Amino acid sequence: MAAISAAEAGLERVLLLESSAEPLGKVLISGGGRCNVTHACWDPRALVGHYPRGGKALRGPFSRFACGDAVAWFDAHGLDLVVEADGRMFPRSNRSSSVIQTLRQAATRAGVVLRTHTALQAAEALPAGGFLLQLQARGASDQAGAGVVPRAGDPGPGERAELASRQPAPSPTSPAQTRALVLATGSHPSGRRLATSLGHSLVPPVPSLFTLKLHPNLLLELAGVVMDPVELELELPDGRFRQQGPVLITHWGLSGPATLRLTAFAARALHQAGYRAELRVDWSGGRSQADLEELFAGCRREQARRQLTSARPWGALSRRLWLHLLADQGVEPERRWADLTRVQQQGLIQALRASRYPVAGKGPIGEEFVTAGGVSLGEVNLASMESRLVPGLYLVGELLDVDGVTGGFNFQHCWSSGWLAGQGAMQGCLAG
């Protein structure tokens, strides 16, 4: 997005550099191969609430390029997006390859040159402005990406670093000189290393958006059950965190949108606590004590002769979960509603409203969706994504201390910051 934005704004000789064989690999696998491009959240004031890190600081960037702008941009470049019931937006084709094709074609039309198999090893800010880059080829022949044939000797820093240059392009193994440099390295350590070498400080990165491991997993027999809505609450030394929404019970613990949102907002506090905590789960979705007592009273009146196993307090309550709670409270499932004692009723209501489970870590290793942490936002001019410390350096996406919850918000920040960086690089090169 940064490369296309700069080239479409009129900057010549924009080079897009990638250390792997193909760019946009993360797009290809995102959303189960569908790519959740953005979210139908049209007000920047509401949009910033979906970012545990970044928050209010993103109001400015989103006032210039937010979800509606992203939808319009992709539409203008030939990609039609559709809104699902929960607000997520996907390509009409339901294939992430359509997003990749759109970006590659846009790069081709704008004249962007893609160079793969080349990594940026070091970048030095020059006294007179611009950067000297040390590049390393990675064992494959150079490629022209996006259908563009590069001129002989075009350079190629990688790890999804983007380079805008006015200088003659050297060979991939020789030093390169450029006026503006955009780092779009995501959570890869190379980007953080490059940023710190150029004088930036980092907010220490920690995992975000992950599932919770319960140990002992008292819900193991319920793997596959989905409940919606569920209220989750973590009480940690650094604060109390709550979320409500769908929860999926897994063979290791809890997943689903509510769990992911909870761990996103509690990412640093959980890290500080060593991912050990007590989780309170309200399976009733926030119903009050009085509400549940009324539901139970209705069952005692209207389902008096039926067994507890065949008549749940409300229809959306998972039967497997209800039977589990009955067993946990020592209540015979064959007992009739008319025979349910007051003590048993109160125990079941308490279990529905405030079951407690021991958190003993994150879900499967490598499952984390994004990283919390990165270059401190105070060191970046968010109007253009230009470094406040190093003129001509632009930092975007997950390299920054910004992360969003699931639903297309992390991609949206990438589109926004990339677009702004491309515009900023164009203006910076003209000024230089």
Listed residues 320, 343, 367: the one ending a domain: 367
Give the strand pairing for 239-249 and 355-362: unpaired
Residues 131 and 15 in one domain: yes
pLDDT at res. 139 = 66
Residues 325 and 415 in one domain: no
- Name residues of the chain where pLDDT drops below 50: 141-160, 164-172
Residues 218 and 76 in one domain: no
Give the strand pairing for 180-183 and 393-395: parallel
Beta strands in 168-318 (DSSP E): 176-178, 180-183, 202-208, 212-214, 226-236, 239-249, 253-255, 276-282
Residues 279 and 419 in one domain: no
Residues 374 and 404 in one domain: yes
Residues 345 and 406 in one domain: no
Task: Give the domain extent around 301.
Answer: 210-367
Domain containing 193 — which CATH number?
3.50.50.60
Say how many domains are in the chain: 2
Q: Are 73 and 92 in contact (CB under 8 A)?
A: no
pLDDT digits (tens, 9 = 90+) for 52-77: 999 889 999 999 999 999 999 999 99
Q: What angle do CA 158, 160, 164 make, to 5 degrees?
A: 80
Per the structure block, which two tokens stand in for 214? 């319960």
For 365, residues 6+ apart whose C-beta sits below 8 A from its C-beta are: none
pLDDT at res. 166 = 42
Listed residues 367, 383, 410: the one ending a domain: 367
Listed residues 327, 351, 367: the one ending a domain: 367
Residues 300 and 388 in one domain: no
- Buried b / exposed e over 60-86, threshold 16 CB at 10 Å, is ebbeebbbbbbbebbeeeebebeeeee
Its pTM surpasses 0.75? yes
What is the average pLDDT score of the chain? 91
pLDDT at res. 431 = 81
Residues 195 and 299 in one domain: no
pLDDT at res. 368 = 65
Per the structure block, which two tokens stand in for 160? 């999804």
pLDDT at res. 55 = 87
Residues 353 and 426 in one domain: no
For 431, residues 6+ apart whose C-beta sits below 8 A from its C-beta are: none
Residues 377 and 274 in one domain: no
Residues 274 and 198 in one domain: no
Residues 218 and 279 in one domain: yes
pLDDT digits (tens, 9 = 90+) for 393-402: 999 999 999 9
pLDDT at res. 138 = 77
Q: Are 356 and 261 in contact (CB under 8 A)?
A: no
Q: Which residues pair with 83 in a beta bridge?
A: 89
